[in-house]
Amino acid sequence: MNKNIEVRELGRKDFKTTWEYQEDLFKHILDTKVKNRREDAGLQTSNYFLFVEHPHVYTLGKSGDISNLLLSEEQLKEKGATFYKINRGGDITYHGPGQIVGYPILDLDNFFTDIHKYLRFLEEMIILTLAEYGIVGTRSEGETGVWLDVGTPFARKICAMGVRASRWVTMHGFAFNINTDLGYFDNIIPCGIRGKAVTSLNVELGLEKVDEEEVKSKLLKHFTTLFEAELIQKEVV
């Protein structure tokens, strides 16, 4: 069992390019698992954690409803945004500048084979990070992600999640609003859930800007503890 996870910082990258990059890493892990099964090759499978920031983009999960996108093709262009229907779970969400997007591409055979536990651990990583800023993040029953003030009229989502898994290999992940322009969420029904707002860390803290590198450091600290992993940092150009 390989509990080493290679952290790759991608910087700001186009969504489609990053999606293809994820697929390549995902396929490499799957191919290794197939070889091990067929040939008893005994090869270790790799694990990755990608950090990225995307230009304005809306993505719709495989079970999502296109009517939750409230913009026409022309309006998307006017806003400098793109749209993709993709192969993760969940409905529609927004990615853009000021948001920390994390894509763990893990072979869960190296950790535990339980996709629900995996999602709960990702949520817990966000909850523990928020707690370091004095913010109480919680789960909302039946709704993946991390929320504030659940059960009140002021419930709002601060982190969305959507993953894909095959043979216990994961891809896609979470989108944590840090210094995000929340106006872009007005163009969708986020995650297909009506009547609930979204928020960001800088809004909740009343700050103009939060240090995103500091947030990433806290996320990785909690991720390492939860998954009992060893992290290897790698810059990707």
Does the annotation place 38 within a ligand binding site? Answer: no
Does the annotation place 88 within a ligand binding site? Answer: yes
Closest C-alpha to 89, from 162, 142, 15: 162
Q: Which helix (H) or strand (E) holds 128?
A: helix 115-131
Does the annotation place 165 within a ligand binding site? Answer: no
Does the annotation place 91 within a ligand binding site? Answer: yes
d(CA 218, CA 91): 28
Does the annotation place 103 within a ligand binding site? Answer: no
Does the annotation place 102 within a ligand binding site? Answer: no
Catalytic residues: 191
Does the annotation place 173 within a ligand binding site? Answer: yes
Closest C-alpha to 100, from 54, 151, 40, 47: 54
Does the annotation place 195 within a ligand binding site? Answer: no
**CA distances for 16 relative to 23, 67, 87, 100, angstroms:** 10, 22, 12, 17
d(CA 136, CA 201): 12
Going by C-beta distance under 8 Å and a sequence separation of 6 or more, which residues neighbour residue 118? Answer: 106, 108, 112, 163, 165, 170
Does the annotation place 90 within a ligand binding site? Answer: yes
Question: Order of strands across the sheet with 92-95?
Answer: 82-85, 57-60, 92-95
Does the annotation place 95 within a ligand binding site? Answer: yes
Does the annotation place 94 within a ligand binding site? Answer: yes
Q: Helices 115-131 & 212-227, crossing angle to 10 degrees? A: 140
Distance of CA 75 to the CA centre of its chain: 26
Does the annotation place 225 within a ligand binding site? Answer: no
Does the annotation place 206 within a ligand binding site? Answer: no
| Binding-site residues from annotation | 88-95, 160-162, 173-175
- Annotated binding-site ranges for substrate: 88-95, 160-162, 173-175
